[in-house]
């Protein structure tokens, strides 16, 4: 029975297999139009809960950066600035982008802001929401079936199942989200460079983030890479990004987004 389960699970994974923009294999089980609809609904809920920034200078500045980043992507991209102390931003399936005004204290120029927003757009382009949902669905289904067919309902069995669940959380789901974060960094780096933003400012941004940051859990217990790991990864991809940046500048891509 266990063999049949694993055979069925393997078949399911093969059917749902896809590739990300960087060529990494992905498990995608959700229809993209359904995720886009969910993204739009979530964005409306966030807009109802958060205070929307009404300063025209701030809105114009952020919209300028988003317009430059998305010029060649196609589709409709809707950006809203929220008045908040959070130094954060997000992008959702369906082309919805949120930027918290507190980010502007850490992202000190248009290039650094483009690095953050480009990273968030990278999550959407790489269909990371679909991947996360699909992976959690597959993991929970696998654990529930294994519990039903292989582990007795005893104190020892329950402890074993709890350990197995913990292993899935820290051995699969969290490290996988770190992979997604690193991939979004690379996609965002290339996206900002193609738009004419200086990719070297992405490294400066993460130095700023480290200085503004506070305590964080060890990297193996976090869904995000450490600042040092991100900087190292960005620097490794910098030669290619600089080549894209120089080509963009030669074509006249020279953004002038100012606050």
Tell me if 5 is assigned to some domain.
no
pLDDT tens-digit readout, 190-211: 999 999 999 999 999 988 888 8
User: What values do phi and psi take at 135, rounded to 5?
Assistant: -70, -40
pLDDT at 4 over 50: no
Which residue reads 């248009």 in tokens? 110
* Number of domains comprising the chain: 1
142 in a domain, yes or no?
yes
Contacts of 174 (CB under 8 A, 6+ apart): 220, 221, 222, 223
Residue at 238 is within a domain? yes
Read off the pLDDT of residues 23-79 as tens digits, 9 standing for 90 and up.
Answer: 677 666 667 787 788 888 889 999 999 999 999 999 999 999 999 999 999 888 999
Specify whether the CB–CB gap between 99 and 62 falls below 8 A. yes
Selecting among 53, 68, 120, 131, the annotated active-site residue is 120
- Per-residue model confidence as pLDDT tens digits over 67-99: 999 999 988 899 999 999 988 899 888 899 999
At 111, list the tokens: 């290039």
| pTM (2 d.p.) | 0.76
* Catalytic site includes residue 233: no
pLDDT band at 166 (very low <50, low <70, confident <90, very high): low
Q: Is residue 122 part of a domain?
A: yes
255 falls within a domain: no
Between CA 31 and CA 128 the distance in angstroms is: 13
Domain limits for position 170 = 16-250
Q: State the DSSP H helix or E strand holding residue 206, giving kind and residue range, or none if neither.
A: helix 200-212
Specify if 173 maps to a domain: yes
For residues 115 and 112, give the distance between their C-alpha atoms in angstroms, rounded to a whole number.
5
Which residues lie below 8 Å from residue 130, measured CB to CB, with a gap of 6+?
Answer: 26, 28, 29, 30, 32, 35, 93
């Amino acid at each position: 029975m266990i063999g049949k389960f694993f055979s069925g699970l393997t078949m399911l994974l093969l059917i749902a297999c896809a590739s990300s923009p960087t060529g990494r294999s992905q498990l995608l089980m959700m229809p993209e139009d359904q995720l886009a609809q969910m993204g739009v609904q979530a964005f409306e809920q966030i807009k109802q809960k958060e205070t929307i920034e009404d300063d025209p200078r701030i809105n114009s500045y952020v919209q300028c950066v988003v317009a430059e980043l998305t010029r060649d992507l196609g589709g409709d991209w809707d950006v809203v600035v929220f008045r908040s102390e959070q130094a954060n931003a997000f992008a959702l399936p369906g082309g919805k982008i949120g930027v918290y005004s507190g980010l502007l204290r850490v992202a000190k120029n248009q290039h650094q802001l483009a690095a953050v927003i480009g990273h968030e757009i990278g999550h959407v382009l790489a269909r990371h929401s679909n991947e996360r949902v699909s992976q959690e669905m597959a993991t929970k289904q696998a654990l529930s079936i294994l519990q039903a067919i292989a582990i007795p309902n005893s104190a020892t069995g329950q402890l074993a199942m709890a350990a197995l669940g913990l292993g899935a959380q820290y051995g699969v789901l969290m490290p996988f989200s770190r992979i997604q974060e690193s991939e979004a960094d690379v996609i965002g780096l290339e996206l900002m460079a193609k738009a004419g933003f200086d990719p070297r400012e992405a490294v400066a941004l993460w130095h700023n983030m480290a200085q503004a940051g506070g305590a964080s859990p060890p990297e193996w217990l976090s869904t995000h890479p450490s600042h040092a790991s991100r900087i190292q990864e960005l620097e490794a991809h910098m030669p290619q990004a600089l080549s894209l940046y120089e080509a963009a500048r030669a074509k006249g891509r020279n953004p002038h987004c100012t606050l």
